[in-house]
Amino acid sequence: MKSKISLNSSYPYLLSLPAVLLVASVSIYPTLFSFYLSMTRFRSGAVQFVGLKNFSILLSTSHFYESLSATMVFLVFYVAITVIVSLLVALMLNSGIAASGLYMTVIFLPWILSEITSGVVWRWFFYRDYGILQNLLGPLFDNATIITTPGGAMGIVTAATIWRSVSFGMLLLLAGLQTIPKEVYEAANVDGAVGFIQFRRITWPLLFPTVIVTTAFLTIQAVNNVGMFLSITDGGPGRATEVLSLYMYREAIQYFNLGYGASLSVLLLLLNAVLAAVYLRFLKRENALAA
Amino acid sequence: MKKKVLALVVLVLFICAGTMLWAAAAEEAKEEKVIFWGFYDLTDTADSRAAFMAEAINGFQEDTGIMVEYEQVAWDQMDNKVNLVARSGGDMPDVVQGAAENIPGWVNAGALLNIQEPISKLSWYDSLDQFEKNMFEKNGERYAVGLFIGGGNYYYDLASFPNGLPETAEEWLAEGARLKKEGKYALTGFMGKGSGGAAVAQGYAPFFWSNGGSVFDEEGKPNWATPQNIEVVEWVREMFAKGYMPEAAFTGDWTASEIPFTSGKAGAVRGGSWSFIYMEGLEDRYNRGEVVIAAPPSFGDQGYVFANSETFAVTKGAENAENAIAFIDYFVSNDERLAGWANAQFGTPTTATAQKAEIFGNQFYVDTAKNLFTHGHVSETSPYYNECSDALATTLQELIINQRLDIQTELEELEDLMLKLYW
């Protein structure tokens, strides 16, 4: 009897063990190893333990704060604009317009292209003399090469990343919109609540949890984004678009400065964790209010 | 039962014999190959270097019976790849093609074999140019063989400079002001970040040398925040701020930086001896006498261009080290072949005997040789060459674009960071 109880109680753990082992090997172990790497440095193929020296160097250099600042600027503009545009597109597609399938396909195309391919195309758009967008927008910037100005370069990467991510945000929000019961809208119509009032009183409150989740996903994407920066500006001009993830990539992958790169990845993980915690808190508060 | 045992014994013997034969065949095959990482796409017949390399590889295979396993690695990716594979314990090739400045970093990563002894026994060793020996022989050790010498060339559009070609920093500013009125830039050329810090080696370093400054000290440590270097950065800033150099020079895109010259909007361009291959229309304009090679900008008594050498290096632990030496020998031992290879790259061969080849008598080579012998300066090396050059190129770009930044503070901070990170 005792052994049967024991078997029954351990059965769920046994069933989940393969998945736990898999997650541990591909996620938990590399994360812990990154913490270890962040306290080492490599010289001539040998590993030296240096304690917190990498963090001390990192936090004392202005490059880190420049990168953090570039990351935050990108994060705010990218997430805010992507959520707004995605919401507008989702509302449009949810309103039952004709040929919505065609629109959806067109909107989805950028998402299925690789980051590097998209990035290279966007860089070509802004080539001096040849770039179509450079020629169109140049007069607005005193005919400067837009990609060589710090603000212009950040604007180009932000725009390109938004162009790529709108479909992702739209998909999540559209799914959220479709979970709102039609009866609620019908009742609102009977009561005379239409248009923007309907959106403010019904759609927005019911969609808010999905907006929070979408924002959290986009935030994590923004903080970890390397490909678009690498392929469009390579962090330039100077370090104007060298966000933290690109800084980490450059140190770890390009210069094989694995310890320093790992210390950057640890700080990125903390940044992601803090931002995720903020969003979860929003979500919890919203759920509590709804209850 | 006996039959079963006998059958089993025969089967075991058969498997053993088969394994031994396979091992012997594999051993034989192993001895007859050399694995080579080179820059060029050998299927690109329009590229003279690729075509020459493909022909040379075929010739080597026919002459020696050693098969070449070729892998293309782009020139600006080779340094990363060799470092990555060496540090991660991956499979290295036997021979690697690289630029001279890559060699100390690869040695530091434990990637290369000291080949001083086998190379010094080869017939052409005594004929190697002293420039090559100064570059690759240090403390009785040699980790690469230089095949040809190339370097920076300043190309001038004669029609843009009716008052004579500018030489000093002041003359460049004066010509810049004059050309600006005509809607032209005075000078262009790659000054951006990326490409392994090439803007430093080819653009800034020669200015620093001319002004008495340097990039690395004798130990290969950064040596940037000096008054001489700061003066140069101020000059480049002025050239850029006043519109005498185009923004395109700072985009980080090689071709984009040359377009102002190829499209006739810039009076001069800093290129290389190889620019005949890459720069659109340059060879024709040069041959028509519209463009000339002349002295680089000077900050003191002497202007400089960087001089360099492309190399073949043998990797540490190479499975086919002897074949690797044979491969290098094949390229260098035959004067006609070495001269042909140098010519395909628009460089000068590294052996005295190959330098006598007829093709090096044409005007371009005469002018380039004169330029390199008069103004050529060997790039300083560092075990962290790429890391430091890239970081410096990036900071210099920031300093040029953002005029509010203090040059000395930024260079000091970067120097300090590099020392903390790598030494």
Break chain B into its structural domains and give their ranges: 37-57+68-149+308-378, 152-305+382-422
Check residue B369 and give its pLDDT.
84
Among B residues 14-73, those touching chain A with beta carbons less than 8 Å apart: none
- List the structure tokens of A201: 């009183």
Give the percent of chain B with pLDDT over 90.
60
Residue B33 three-state SS: strand
B-chain residues within 8 Å CB-CB of A256?
Answer: 83-84, 87, 109
Q: Burial, B413: exposed, middle or buried (Cβ in 10 Å; 0-12, 13-18, 19+)?
A: middle
On the question of pLDDT at A157 being above 90, the answer is yes
Confidence at B1, pLDDT banded by 50, 70, 90: low
pLDDT number for residue B345: 84
Look at residue A44 in the predicted model and tell me its pLDDT. 61
Q: How remote is the C-alpha of B312 from its chain's centroid?
A: 11
| pLDDT of amino acid B238 | 96
Q: Give the pLDDT band of residue B27 (cuts 50, 70, 90).
A: low
Provide the token pair at A240.
């104007």
Contact check, Cβ <8 Å, B394/A239: yes
Q: Please check the confidence at residue B318 and state whether its pLDDT lies above 80.
A: yes
For residues B401-412, give the mean pLDDT: 93
Of A44, A57, A238, the CB nearest to B401: A238
Is the domain covering B37-57+68-149+308-378 a CATH 3.10.20.600 domain?
no
Interface of B with A in 143-202 (CB under 8 A): 192-194
- Minimal Cα distance from B250: which residue of A? A148
Say how far apart CA A178 and CA A167 lie, in whole Å: 16
- pLDDT score, position B18: 65
Q: Is B257 on the interface with A (CB under 8 A)?
A: no
| B386–chain A Cβ distance below 8 A for any pair | yes
Assess whether pLDDT exceeds 80 at residue B30: no
The predicted-structure confidence for B273-290, as pLDDT tens digits, reads as follows: 888 878 889 989 999 999
Q: Residue A179: its pLDDT value, please?
A: 92
* Three-state DSSP state, A71: helix
Residue A36 pLDDT level (bands cut at 50, 70, 90):
very high
Contacts of A45 in chain B (CB under 8 A): 86-87, 109-110
Residue type at position A39: M
Cβ separation B251–A147 shorter than 8 A: yes
Contact B387 A255 (CB under 8 A): yes
Evaluate whether B167 touches B140 at the Cβ level (below 8 Å). Answer: no
Q: How far apart are CA A201 and CA B206, in angstroms?
A: 68
Tell which A residues from 176 to 205 touch B, by Cβ distance under 8 Å. none
Of the listed ranges A92-106, B183-197, B203-217, the least confidently predicted one is A92-106
Query: B329 — contact with chain A (CB < 8 Å)?
Result: no
Chain A residues touching residue B413 (CB < 8 angstroms): 61-62
Is B153 within 8 Å of B305 (Cβ atoms)? yes
Find the closest chain A residue to B390 by CA distance. Answer: A255
Asked if residue B31 has pLDDT above 70, the reply is no
The shortest CB-CB distance from B420 to any of A57, A128, A240 is to A57
Model pLDDT, residue B14: 65
Q: What whole-number percentage of chain A has pLDDT above 90?
A: 58
Q: How far is B423 from chain A (nearest CA, A)?
A: 9
Burial state string for A154-169 with b = 16 or more CB within 10 A and e = fewer than 16: bbbbbbbbbbbbbbbb
Supply the ipTM of this predicted assembly.
0.77
> Among A55, A65, A148, A231, which would you mutate to test the B interface (most chain B Cβ atoms within 10 Å of its Cβ)?
A148
* Chain A environment of B421 (Cβ under 8 Å): 57, 257, 260
Look at residue A212 and tell me if it is in a domain. yes
Range of the domain at A109: 53-290
Q: Which residues contact B282 (CB under 8 A, 6 or more apart)?
A: B155, B262, B271, B275, B276, B291
What is d(CA A131, CA B200) in angstroms, rounded to the nearest whole number? 27
* Residue A142 sits at the chain B interface (C-beta within 8 Å): no
- Exposed e or buried b per residue across B255-278, where buried means at least 16 C-beta atoms within 10 angstroms of its C-beta: ebbbbbbbeebbbbbbbbbbbbee
Number of DSSP helices (H) and strands (E) in chain A, helices first = 14, 2
Within 8 A of B246 by CB-CB distance, chain A residues are 128
Rounded CA gap, B386 and B325, in Å?
A: 27
Q: How far is CA B192 from the centre of its chain?
A: 17
Shortest Cα distance, chain A CAs vs residue B276, angstroms: 22
Say yes or no to pLDDT of A3 above 70: no
Contact B82, B102 (CB under 8 A): yes
Q: Which of residues 277-296 of B touch A (CB under 8 A)?
A: none
Selected residues 217-246 of chain B with any CB under 8 Å from a CB in chain A? 246
CATH of the domain at A260: 1.10.3720.10
**Residue A31 forms part of a structural domain:** no
- Are the beta carbons of B192 and A236 separated by less than 8 Å? yes
Which string of b and e fits A179-201 if b means at least 16 CB within 10 Å?
ebeeeeeeebeeeebeeeebeee
Q: With contacts defined as CB-CB under 8 Å, which chain A residues touch B395?
A: 238-239
pLDDT score of A102: 85
Contacts of A235 in chain B (CB under 8 A): 193, 394
pLDDT of residue B20: 61
A-B CB pairs within 8 A amount to: 85
**Predicted confidence (pLDDT) per residue in A177-219, tens digit:** 999 998 888 888 888 888 888 898 889 999 999 999 999 999 9
Question: Of the candidates B256, B398, B420, which has its C-beta nearest A128's C-beta?
Answer: B256
H helices within B242-299, ranges in order?
Answer: 254-262, 275-278, 282-287
Q: Is residue A231 part of a domain?
A: yes
CA distance B170 to A160: 43
Residue B305, beta-bridge partner list: B376
Written as six digits, the tokens of B12 are 């075991």
- Residue-wise pLDDT tens digits, B215-248: 999 888 999 999 999 999 999 999 999 999 998 8
Q: Nearest-CA residue of chain A relative to B413?
A: A61
Question: What is the per-residue pLDDT for A279?
Answer: 87
Q: How many structural domains compose chain A?
A: 1
pLDDT at residue number B2: 63
**What backbone phi and psi angles, to 5 degrees, belong to A149?**
-100, 140
Question: Of residues B171 and A113, which shows the higher confidence score?
Answer: B171
pLDDT at B117 over 90: yes
* CATH number at B152-305+382-422: 3.40.190.10
Instruction: Compute how many other C-beta atoms are within 10 angstroms of the C-beta atom of residue B361.
Output: 9
Query: Which residue of A61, A148, A240 is in closest CB contact with B251?
Result: A148
Per CB-CB distance under 8 Å, the chain B contacts of A44 are 108-110
CB A145 to CB B251 under 8 A? Answer: yes
**Over residues B39-58, mean pLDDT:** 91
Distance from CA of B198 to the nearest CA of A (A): 15
Q: How close, in Å, is residue A148 to chain B by CA atoms?
A: 6
How confident is the model at residue B83, as a pLDDT? 85
CA A187 to chain centroid, in Å, comes to 37
Of B256, B387, B394, the CB nearest to A127: B256
Give the C-alpha separation, B155 to B293, whole Å: 5
